[in-house]
């Protein structure tokens, strides 16, 4: 009887060891493995399946046909099945490494700063990472003024006050403390408590970080974008490290995408627009906002206005009429590449000047002649400079002036 029981125990133990060996050997052993992941490649068809492992150098996906390993140099972007939240949290925190984090509240002082997320959890932000904080949403037409305010060269912290004239005033001093309802600000040695409702944003005086080392862009459901120098996959999350050494843990359920191609390429559609201006073909006595917007340069996919879900690499910059599109070149990137081609098929065509400017210097001017369908643009740029793409026309009639900048991108 004892011998039979021992035999049963041995069999049970053997079965248990076989089961554990299978679990350990299986690539699906991660407790929270992502089963719906699509990897877009820089060339070739996408790969879909379950995420097995990933880091800054490579990624392994378990597909129906077997395990597939891709190096970082082959990967454009990894997309997860999650969707962006419909509401963007009101506080936008800009970090020196290029990260953009969203939350419902920012509090702190000295070396202790906390960004409260929509879920209620808090992320600790090292003071050496802080660049600026937008404390409340602003109108789209004020984006350029906000960028100008935070990029203004000064030697101190600042508070940014929004005026009814849709402009910002920058008041320089020292940010001492940020509470839920007020900001303590040292102005010429005098401590002032400024009510939060009077402020649009904050700027910290920091030495700019040279972001020349390639980074990986991680987008989260709350619209935050973290620039990771490295990351590792855990059981149900990824843990990334920024260039300044900050650790951020993101659950799989909060991941939108991991963009490997930011190491070497940035699509222009991903870079923040500073302003867009159109030379309208018709001047109305009573301006109509919707008609004015119809002439502005904008990104399209297949001729239709690009949606938030369309791939950045598929977006073309469409100029319905002559005009200009202004952005700032991210650090670490130095080359603009694309093809500018005509979109109209009519017999009437106009000679166009295709120009690229940085600050007040014209870097390039090419003529898109009447009998030419497209030209190539390959221009060396300086990082952190305001850059303007221009389509100009000398003809007052402005017939046959529509052009598209095909998949404009910045490279290192």
Looking at the structure, tell me whether residues 160 and 92 fall in a common domain.
yes
List strand residue ranges (DSSP E) for 72-109, in order. Answer: 75-80, 91-95, 100-103, 105-109
40 Cα distance to chain centroid: 17
Three-class secondary structure of residue 373 per DSSP: coil
Position 77 pLDDT exceeds 50: yes
Looking at the structure, tell me whether residues 95 and 43 fall in a common domain.
no
Q: Of 263, 290, 325, which closes a domain?
A: 263
Looking at the structure, tell me whether residues 304 and 381 fall in a common domain.
yes
Under 8 Å between Cβ of 349 and 308 = no
| φ, ψ dihedrals at 212, nearest 5° | -85, -20
Q: How confident is the model at residue 283 (pLDDT cuts 50, 70, 90)?
A: low
Three-class secondary structure of residue 337 per DSSP: strand
Q: Of 199, 229, 263, which closes a domain?
A: 263
Looking at the structure, tell me whether residues 94 and 146 fall in a common domain.
yes
Q: Of 234, 263, 292, which closes a domain?
A: 263
Looking at the structure, tell me whether residues 28 and 149 fall in a common domain.
no
| φ, ψ dihedrals at 69, nearest 5° | -110, 130
Mark 219-248 as b/e (b = at least 16 C-beta within 10 Å): bbbbbbbbbbbebebeeebbebbbbeebeb
Looking at the structure, tell me whether residues 17 and 50 fall in a common domain.
yes
Looking at the structure, tell me whether residues 188 and 92 fall in a common domain.
yes
Which one-letter DSSP state was computed for residue 307?
P
Looking at the structure, tell me whether residues 37 and 106 fall in a common domain.
no
Looking at the structure, tell me whether residues 96 and 199 fall in a common domain.
yes
Looking at the structure, tell me whether residues 111 and 208 fall in a common domain.
yes
Q: In terms of residue numbers, what domain contains 89?
A: 82-263
Overall number of domains in the chain:
3
State pLDDT tens for residues 142-183. Answer: 877 887 787 776 788 999 988 877 788 889 999 999 999 999
| φ, ψ dihedrals at 409, nearest 5° | -145, 155
The pair of three-digit structure tokens given for residue 382, joined into one six-digit string = 């300086």
Position 129 pLDDT exceeds 80: yes
The pair of three-digit structure tokens given for residue 359, joined into one six-digit string = 């600050």
Q: How many C-beta atoms lie closer than 10 Å to residue 131's C-beta?
A: 21
| φ, ψ dihedrals at 90, nearest 5° | -70, -25
State pLDDT tens for residues 180-197. Answer: 999 999 988 899 999 999
Which one-letter DSSP state was computed for residue 11?
H
Looking at the structure, tell me whether residues 306 and 202 fall in a common domain.
no
State pLDDT tens for residues 322-365. Answer: 999 999 998 778 899 999 999 876 567 889 999 999 988 999 99
Looking at the structure, tell me whether residues 343 and 397 fall in a common domain.
yes
């Amino acid at each position: 009887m004892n011998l039979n029981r021992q035999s049963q125990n041995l069999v049970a133990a053997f079965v248990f060891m076989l089961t554990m060996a299978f679990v350990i050997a299986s690539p699906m052993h991660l407790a929270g493995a992502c089963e719906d992941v699509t990897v877009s490649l820089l060339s070739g068809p996408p790969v879909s399946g379950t995420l097995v492992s990933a880091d800054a150098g490579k990624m392994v996906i378990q597909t129906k046909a077997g395990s597939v390993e891709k190096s970082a140099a082959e990967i454009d972007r990894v997309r997860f099945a999650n969707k962006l939240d419909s509401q963007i949290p009101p506080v936008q925190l800009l970090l020196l490494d290029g990260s953009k984090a969203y939350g419902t509240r920012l509090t702190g002082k000295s070396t202790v700063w906390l960004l409260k997320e929509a879920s209620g959890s808090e992320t600790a932000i090292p003071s050496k990472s802080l660049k600026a904080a937008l404390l409340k949403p602003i109108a789209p037409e004020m984006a350029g003024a906000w960028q100008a305010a935070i990029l203004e060269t000064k030697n101190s912290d600042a508070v940014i006050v929004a005026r009814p004239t849709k402009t910002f005033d920058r008041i320089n001093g020292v940010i001492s403390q940020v509470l839920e309802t007020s900001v303590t600000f040292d102005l010429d040695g005098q401590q002032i408590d400024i009510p939060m409702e009077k402020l649009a944003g904050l700027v910290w005086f920091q030495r700019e970080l040279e972001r020349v080392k390639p980074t990986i862009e991680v987008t989260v459901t709350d619209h935050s974008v973290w620039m990771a120098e490295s990351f590792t996959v855990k059981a149900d999350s990824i843990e990334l490290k920024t260039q300044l050494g900050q650790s951020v843990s993101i659950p799989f359920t909060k991941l939108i995408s991991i963009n490997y191609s930011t190491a070497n390429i940035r699509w222009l559609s991903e870079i923040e627009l500073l302003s867009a201006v159109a030379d309208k073909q018709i001047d109305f006595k009573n301006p109509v906002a919707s008609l004015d917007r119809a002439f502005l340069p904008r990104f399209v996919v297949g001729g239709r206005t690009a949606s938030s879900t369309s791939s950045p690499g598929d977006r073309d910059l469409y100029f319905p009429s002559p005009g200009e599109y202004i952005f700032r070149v991210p650090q670490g990137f130095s080359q603009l590449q694309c093809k500018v081609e005509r979109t109209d098929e009519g017999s009437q065509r106009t000679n166009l000047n295709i120009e690229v400017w940085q600050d007040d210097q014209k870097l390039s001017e090419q003529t898109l002649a009447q009998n030419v369908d497209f030209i190539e643009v390959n221009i060396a740029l300086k990082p952190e400079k305001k850059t303007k793409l221009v389509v100009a026309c000398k003809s007052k009639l402005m017939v046959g002036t529509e052009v598209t900048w095909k998949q404009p991108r910045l490279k290192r």
